[in-house]
Structure 1
Amino acid sequence: MMDLEQTRFNMVEQQIRTWSVLDQDVLGLLYKVKREEFVPAAYRAMAFMDMEIPLEHDAVMLTPKMEARILQELRLKKTDKVLEIGTGTGYMTALLAELCAHVHSVEIVPALHAMAKINLQVHGTANVTLEQGDAARGWPKHEPYDVIVLTASTPVLPEAFQKSLAPGGRLFAIVGEEPVMEATLITCTAPGNYHSIFLFETCTAPLKNALQSEHFHF
């Protein structure tokens, strides 16, 4: 057990702090929500490594530092209603739920949806609504949202996500195609007005059925 906690401490101090994640609420959460409990059994030994963990149907768990950085950038409030696109194993869902009022999380892969449901029940996370479906191009069902998080990349960001934001709402998305994608934070400054900032370059797996860019051939 001591080795496990030391490894968790090393993850926070060596991977996450060094990537400019300094928000104490976020860092504290990484000790409270046990990441290894949400990692598929075959990869549990890798739970604290600086790597993406493979899931079914070409999905991945983001790296620990990416998960933490997303939480910090979104500046979640206890009153926020959050939409998460891509539940995965439910780990990011659990982190979001600790910081906001309610999370609506949508997963397209039935096996992952089922896994997340069990993981979140075991963890005792109650303020989450899990739904199965294809939300790669939007999920207006419960809009407006204060926060929207895409946990996988999209070559093109559908406008539907921005339109689902409440005034003051924030949207995190990784936009683009290999080899370089841009982590982007979009804020709804007023109804119909949006401010977008580029955070950093990265590369990760795309959402299933993500909106594709048009490639012109001459």
Structure 2
Amino acid sequence: MTDFATRRRMMVDTQVRPSDVTEFPIIESMLTVPREIFVPGEKVEAAYAGDHVELWPGRHLLDARLFAKMLESLDLGNNDLVLDIGTGLGYSSAVIARIAEAVVAVEDDEDQVAEAQGLLTENHSDNVILHTGPLAEGAAEHGPYDVIIVEGGIETLPDAIESQLKEGGRIACIFVENALGTVKVGHKWDGSIAWRHAFNGIAPVLQGFEKETAFAL
């Protein structure tokens, strides 16, 4: 029988801590949430491997290092309402829910949302609200949000997402350009987001977050 608790400790000790992630709530949450239950059954052995795990076409569970560093860069607090875009089967939301006050998790497929709901309930993540709809539209009815995190690459941030960030709020995104990726953290001031480079990282671009292609005759 696989000892997943030991694998979680190894993940934190070899992938998360060496990446200068030091905030105790993040470490504690990633040591506690069973990553292996939030991936398809045939992918269980890959859950702690240190790479993105494809959940289904177009959706990935971000590797632990990248995800943890994004959380650290957001400076999450226990009063934050967090919008988690592209939660997949719910792992990211389960981790964040142990740190923040509440999480609104967005996915676009009803069947996947139903599966995520079951897994989050099993994990006692009672402060997560699942919202079904296009990722690029967010979940305006539950906002505005103190924090927004996008669980995949983006080429551009839709206006709908930007508008749901509270004044003074923080957002973390993986910007992808020409196969290179940069994680940037934004702060919203005077109605617009000011971005800063946080660290390098890359993930597949999510549907709805691509730049429009201009066609020339």
Scaled by the length of structure 1, the TM-score of the pair is: 0.91
Kept in 2: contact 1:172–1:186 (CA 8 A): yes
CA distance in 2 between counterparts of 1:36 and 1:68 reads 16
Are the equivalent residues in 2 in contact too, given 1:136–1:211 (CA < 8 A)? no
Instruction: Please list, as runs of the form range in 1=range in 2, the aligned pairs for 1:102-117 lying within 5 A after superposition.
Output: 102-117=102-117
1:43, CA displacement in angstroms? 1.0
Where does residue 121 of structure 2 map in the other structure? 121
Q: Which residue of 2 aligns with 1:94?
A: 94
Aligned to 2:42: 42
The answer for the alignment partner of 1:210 in structure 2 is 209
In structure 2, the CA distance between the partners of 1:193 and 1:56, relative to structure 1 (3 Å rule), is closer
Q: How far did residue 72 of structure 1 move?
A: 1.0
Distance 1:118 1:3 in 2: 23
Distance in 1 of aligned mates of 2:161 and 2:210:
12
**Deviations 1:186-212 (Å, cap 9, x if unpaired)?**
012x33143211112222112223242
SS in 1 for 2:134: coil
Identity, % of aligned pairs? Answer: 29
Shift of 1:162: 2.5
Gap change, CA 1:211 and 1:58, over 3 Å in 2: closer
Structure 1 residue 111, shift from structure 2 partner: 3.0
Query: Within 2, Cα distance between the matches of 1:59 and 1:173?
Result: 15
Alignment RMSD: 2.0
1:56 — aligned with what?
56
The amino acid that maps onto 1:135 is L
Contact 1:137–1:210 (CA under 8 A) maintained in structure 2: no
SS at the partner of 1:136?
Answer: helix
Q: Distance in 1 between matches of 2:121 and 2:29?
A: 18
Q: Distance in 1 between matches of 2:152 and 2:166?
A: 22
Structure 2: runs of 5+ lacking an equivalent: none
- Indicate the SS of the match to 1:99: coil
Structure 1 stretches lacking a partner, 5+ long: none
Residue 135 of structure 1 and its aligned partner are, at CA, apart by 2.6
8 Å CA contact 1:87, 1:112 repeated in 2: no
Counterparts of 2:150 and 2:92 in 1: how far apart (Å)? 11
| Alignment check: 8 A CA contact 2:35 2:47 kept | yes
With normalisation by structure 2, the TM-score equals: 0.91
Q: Is the 8 Å Cα contact of residues 57 and 109 (structure 1) preserved in structure 2?
A: no
Q: What are the residue-to-residue correspondences of 1:4-43 with 2, within 5 Å? A: 4-43=4-43
Distance 1:126 1:206 in 2: 29
Q: Deviations over 1:163-185 (max 9, x none)?
A: 22212211111122441122111
Tell me the number of residue pairs that the alignment of Structure 1 and Structure 2 aligns.
217
